[in-house]
Amino acid sequence: MPTDKIPIIELKHATKIIETGDERKVILDDVSLKIYAKDFITILGGNGAGKSTLFNAISGTLMLTSGSVFIKGNDVTNHSPEKRAAAISRVFQDPKMGTAPRMTVAENIAIAALRGKRRSLGLRNITTYKADFASLAEQIGNGLEKHLDTPTGNLSGGQRQALSLLMATIVPPDLLLLDEHTAALDPKTSVALMQLTDDLVTSKDLTALMITHHMEDALKYGNRLIVMKDGQIVQDLAATEKEQMKLEDFYRIFD
């Protein structure tokens, strides 16, 4: 991992403590992490390991008890999610999140295309851009290009999740957060979406952080693999180290 470049994202001693009455629970425990340009990092961990807490700390939806978050060298620890949104895109586990259900596919794509830009593309002029949107959607390979005028709420789960991924990457973010984005899909659709994810990350030179509950995907995809347990990073493996790991090695970590 490079040491002479400014990380895209850096966490320094990130800690989150939840106190309710007499109970004190550490859900993120002194985590330091550097994510560099073009890193595709997969994250494994059991329930309560701190995976989603890590994502929330990076995106700003959860303020840290102590520690710092930096985006491209700038301290954003106290910045709201809205202030971080220009740099960070997120695809959630639930296909219903990330899209506006009553708006059409084309309208959702149009909104995503405006991320970080001045609002020059009006929804009333959307027909001008439909050919471009259809070309983008066709790359997904699940028929989405035939549903540009369909309300997003009427799509299948796989189509809606693919749309969320397209929307998150149409304007390449500094960091793409993939929050178990294949977990709610059937196995065949999950495999197709994971291949699409890898294609987009590679072709667009994206920097991505992906939580997965599939150990096979964690081994197959990405150039780094992080294992979390009890709010801490217990393994941070480079590609060469990951290639030497087998599934049974990870099962032993979680014992």
Please compute the mean of the pLDDT values over residues 159-186 and round it to a whole number: 93
Give the tens place of pLDDT for each residue, 48-83.
899 999 999 999 999 999 999 999 999 999 999 999
What are the structural domains, with CATH classification, of the chain? 1-87+174-255 (3.40.50.300), 102-172 (no CATH)
Q: Cβ contacts of residue 69 below 8 Å, gap of 6+? A: 9, 10, 11, 12, 14, 57, 58, 60, 75, 76, 77
Angle of helix 130-138 relative to helix 157-169, nearest 10 degrees?
A: 110
Q: What is the pLDDT of residue 128?
A: 63
Please compute the mean of the pLDDT values over residues 132-139 and round it to a whole number: 77
The long-range contacts involving 94-100, CB below 8 angstroms and separated by at least 24 positions, are 94/184, 95/157, 95/158, 95/160, 95/161, 95/164, 95/184, 95/185, 96/160, 97/164, 98/164, 98/167, 98/168, 99/152, 99/160, 99/163, 99/164, 99/167, 100/152
Residue 110 or 60, more confident: 60
- Specify the range with the lowest mean pLDDT, choosing from 5-9, 183-187, 220-224: 183-187
Are residues 69 and 77 in contact, defined by beta-carbon separation less than 8 angstroms?
Answer: yes
Residue 1 to residues 13, 43, 209, 222, Cα–Cα distance (Å): 19, 17, 15, 13
Asked if the model's pLDDT at residue 123 lies above 60, the reply is no
> Which strands sit side by side in the sheet containing 74-75, from one edge to the other?
23-35, 9-20, 66-71, 74-75
Q: What is the pLDDT of residue 125?
A: 61
Q: What is d(CA 104, CA 101) in angstroms, rounded to the nearest whole number?
A: 8
Are residues 142 and 97 in contact, defined by beta-carbon separation less than 8 angstroms?
Answer: no
Q: What is d(CA 155, CA 152) in angstroms, rounded to the nearest whole number?
A: 5
Q: What percent of the chain clears pLDDT 70, i.e. is strictly above it?
A: 90
Are residues 213 and 178 in contact, defined by beta-carbon separation less than 8 angstroms?
Answer: no
Residue 25 CB burial class (10 angstroms; 0-12, 13-18, ≥19): exposed
Mean residue pLDDT of the chain comes to 88
Give the tens place of pLDDT for each residue, 196-253.
899 999 999 999 999 998 888 998 999 999 999 999 999 999 988 888 877 777 667 6
Please compute the mean of the pLDDT values over residues 155-165 and round it to a whole number: 90
Q: What is the pLDDT of residue 246?
A: 74
Encoded tokens for 145: 């290009």
